[in-house]
Amino acid sequence: MRVAIYPGSFDPITNGHMDIIKRSCVLFDILIVAVISNPNKIPLFSVNERIELLQKAVAEIPNVTVDNFEGLLVEYASKKNAMAIVKGLRAISDFEVELQMALMNRKLNPNIETLFMMTSYKYSFLSSSLVKEIGKFGGCMSQLVPDIVLPDIKAKLKNS
């Protein structure tokens, strides 16, 4: 069984995230989309809210599950018997940060590979931070996030 982890903050999930999920789920038997708590960021959505949004967004993809974790990614991946970590890249700046993490993960556990996947050019500009900023100022988010979670994101931004 080929298991992979796609980790991220997903605060909130974007169509860029969905692009990586849809493309990587065909490469593995199970893709676990894992919500992490990043102590360097102040999230808009709680971990449980992010999990709920992700579950709605991936409900139609049978081999994708949603989970969350704290601590070291490679330890979590090992517990889940994952063979790979999937990381989405938008730009060279993403690669520099992700390469350093991938090399450290490889040092910690050489049995888990990191797969870098370039996001579609349609979403190369997209980030959760931009979605939140656009939404806070009343901009159109309809092609930035999955339609099924758009009302939830709008409601959260309105009440924040």
Q: Is 90 a catalytic residue?
A: yes
Q: How many domains does the chain contain in total?
A: 1
Could you list the pLDDT tens digit for every one of the 160 residues in the chain? 999 999 999 999 999 999 999 999 999 999 999 999 877 778 999 999 999 999 999 999 999 999 999 999 999 999 999 999 999 998 777 788 899 999 999 999 999 999 999 999 999 889 999 999 999 999 999 999 999 999 999 999 888 7
Q: Which of 17, 50, 132, 156 is catalytic?
A: 17
Query: Any catalytic annotation for residue 17?
Result: yes
pLDDT of residue 90: 86
Contact between 62 and 30 (Cβ < 8 Å): no
Q: What is the DSSP letter of 99?
A: H
Domain residues for the domain of 63 are 3-158
**Residue in 2, 41, 122, 158 annotated catalytic:** 41
Q: Can you tell me which residue has the tokens 């050489």?
A: 110
Q: Name the pTM for this structure.
A: 0.94
Q: Which of 56, 49, 73, 71 is CA-nearest to residue 21? A: 56
- Per-residue confidence (pLDDT) for residue 91, from 0 to 100: 78
Which residues face 84 on adjacent strands? 4, 113
Q: How far does the chain reach from its first CA to its final CA, in angstroms? A: 42
The pLDDT value given to residue 159: 82
User: CA 117, 55, 15: angle at the middle one, nearest 5?
Assistant: 40
Is 128 a catalytic site residue? Answer: yes
**CATH code where residue 146 lies:** 3.40.50.620
Residue among 23, 90, 106, 154 flagged as catalytic: 90
Measure the CA–CA gap between 76 and 16, rounded to whole angstroms: 24
Choose the catalytic residue: 9, 24, 50, 128: 128
Q: What would the DSSP string read from start to end of 12-24?
A: T--HHHHHHHHHH
